[in-house]
Structure 1
Amino acid sequence: MRPDQAPFHDPLDDPPWAMQLVVRAEKTDPPNHEAVCEAAATAVVRLLTDPRAAEPGGEWHDAVREWESRRIRKVTRRARGVRWPEAEALPGVTVEHAGAQVRAFPPGPVSDVPPQLAKLQVAGLDLPGADEPAPPPEPPYAALALNPDVTITTGKAAAQCGHAAQLLLRRGRRRHVAAWVEAGARVHLVRDEEWRRCVKQSAVAVRDGGFTEVPPGTMTAVAWLVRK
């Protein structure tokens, strides 16, 4: 998955790069699956549109450009207790949404993850779904849908939603994307529409690289913008 604007880079080049996402998941009153996915997607977009990443000369600009020239990998980790404020002390962007807190960090080589993040657990983040679908926000917002025929953990789903939102940011019509970002890059995870209808109306689709949980090429998520 490479945004259209990114220069070509051999995806087999080493070292691989990734954006780290950290989900706050306390033992008591953890967030639900959908809220984490939505918060992760918004966090990715807000980091990529932050002046530190979007503007030449920004402290994250070169790292984002290098990362987007490769395979777009994201790693979702969980933090609880003192580990969360340790993670928040590092440069990044936090989104709080519907009881979920997710922080996105500037991308970098997977071999050079800050120790505060490297010690956080990657596998096993799987949270219960909400009892009822949440209503969509006021437009403009990004509608995301996950493939119901593919079983993935919350951590994996959050990364896939982040991928979908990123592709929408890079490939969507400029003025529509600008309005969405200006409104806060709100995201709604669709649960009550047939998957085939979601695919038909989508603007972008995520096909997974196959590094974890699903075979390579699996369509995991789609996204489209809902405008006023």
Structure 2
Amino acid sequence: MTAARVLDPLISRYASWLAMPEEATADTSDEDDPGEVVLMPMVLRIERREPPDRTALLEAAAAAALAVCLDERCKPGGEWHEAMITWTRGRIRKVSRRARGAHWTAVQSLPGRTVRVGDAEVRAFLPMRVAEMPKELSRLQISGSELEPDEPGPPQAGVPALWLNPEVPMSAGKSAAQVGHATMILAALLRGDGLDAELERWAANEFRCSVRTADAGTWRRLHPGDDPEAAWRRHRVAVVRDAGFTEVDPGTVTVLAQWPG
């Protein structure tokens, strides 16, 4: 998968990110000029009368974020390559906004990928500088994305399980960004291990995954402790550790991503 090359910068950085002490994870180097921040916008479709199931929305977000990264237009020489590789070489930041009705329709023309899971839809966009965000996106609200918890049942067999931290409440918007990080890390680690065939099969299944809130026992069993690299090598578990810009403290492990098999 040629487009997967844009994830190569994540491979070597993964272990070092997780080894950083908590007080070092909150990098505020660009906060003096927020307009220069480069991030991936994600828009969650949340209609007022018929909001989607929370779990389906998060699963759509997880797939959409990776679908943009591995779109054929991101391969070397493609029209999206420069924007994507610039982002993956820097800080991986996402922001989730909500839309409904005409505002949801309006963003479909912007460069990105829309994924539907069940009754839920999410569109992830090509990374961009905040100062250059088009009005169709900038006018959308970031707050108000919370949805009632649902009961999705056991994770689906044969697809990655993305386990949310049971001790860290997060809004649907924050959770959407975190599971998007998780699928990107999983894909990068698969590529780093030369498992391109598995990545191709995942792509053929539209990057489907199961998002669940872990119970305490599952979280303890899968948590890598002080050795995240060994957790991947032995158990195919990857970790998302947040920089602490919104909602959670710096260094918080928000998601444990478990590759099947």
TM-score (norm 2): 0.78
Shift of 1:134: 3.9
Residue among 145, 152, 169 paired with 2:163: 145
Q: What secondary structure does 1:3 align onto?
A: helix
Residue among 180, 191, 198 paired with 2:222: 198
Between the aligned partners of 2:10 and 2:28, the Cα distance in structure 1 is: 13
Residue among 215, 219, 243 paired with 1:209: 243
Q: What secondary structure does 1:82 align onto?
A: helix
Shift of 1:202: 5.2
**Conserved? CA contact 2:57–2:120, under 8 Å:** yes
Do residues 12 (structure 1) and 29 (structure 2) align? yes
Q: What secondary structure does 1:186 align onto?
A: coil
**Conserved? CA contact 1:137–1:186, under 8 Å:** no
Residue equivalent to 2:60: 39
Do residues 116 (structure 1) and 136 (structure 2) align? yes
Residue equivalent to 1:95: 115
Q: What secondary structure does 1:215 align onto?
A: coil
Q: CA 1:192/1:217 → structure 2, altered by over 3 Å: closer, same or farther?
A: closer
Residue among 208, 212, 215 paired with 1:186: 208
Residue among 48, 55, 75 paired with 1:27: 48
**Conserved? CA contact 1:20–1:76, under 8 Å:** yes
Measured against aligned partners, the alpha-carbon deviations of 1:57-89 in whole angstroms (never above 9, x if no partner) come to 111111110001111000000001110100112
Aligned pairs for 1:67-82 within 5 A? 67-82=87-102
Between the aligned partners of 2:77 and 2:236, the Cα distance in structure 1 is: 34
Measured against aligned partners, the alpha-carbon deviations of 1:140-181 in whole angstroms (never above 9, x if no partner) come to x22101101001100000000000111111112423323222
Q: CA 1:198/1:34 → structure 2, altered by over 3 Å: closer, same or farther?
A: farther
Shift of 1:137: 3.6
**Conserved? CA contact 2:42–2:123, under 8 Å:** yes
Shift of 1:5: 5.5
Residue equivalent to 2:256: 222
Shift of 1:11: 7.9
Between the aligned partners of 1:66 and 1:189, the Cα distance in structure 2 is: 28
Between the aligned partners of 1:158 and 1:218, the Cα distance in structure 2 is: 16
Residue among 71, 76, 82 paired with 1:50: 71
Shift of 1:226: 1.1
Residue among 86, 109, 128 paired with 2:106: 86
**Conserved? CA contact 1:145–1:198, under 8 Å:** no
Between the aligned partners of 1:47 and 1:41, the Cα distance in structure 2 is: 11
Between the aligned partners of 1:120 and 1:164, the Cα distance in structure 2 is: 24
Aligned pairs for 1:160-175 within 5 A? 160-172=178-190, 173=193, 174=195, 175=197
**5+ long unaligned stretches in structure 1:** none
Shift of 1:135: 4.7
Q: Give the letter aligned to residue 256 of structure 2.
A: V
Shift of 1:192: 5.8
Between the aligned partners of 1:192 and 1:16, the Cα distance in structure 2 is: 32
Residue equivalent to 2:3: none
Instruction: Tell me the matched-pair count.
Output: 220
**5+ long unaligned stretches in structure 2:** 1-8, 14-26, 225-234
* Cα-Cα RMSD: 2.0
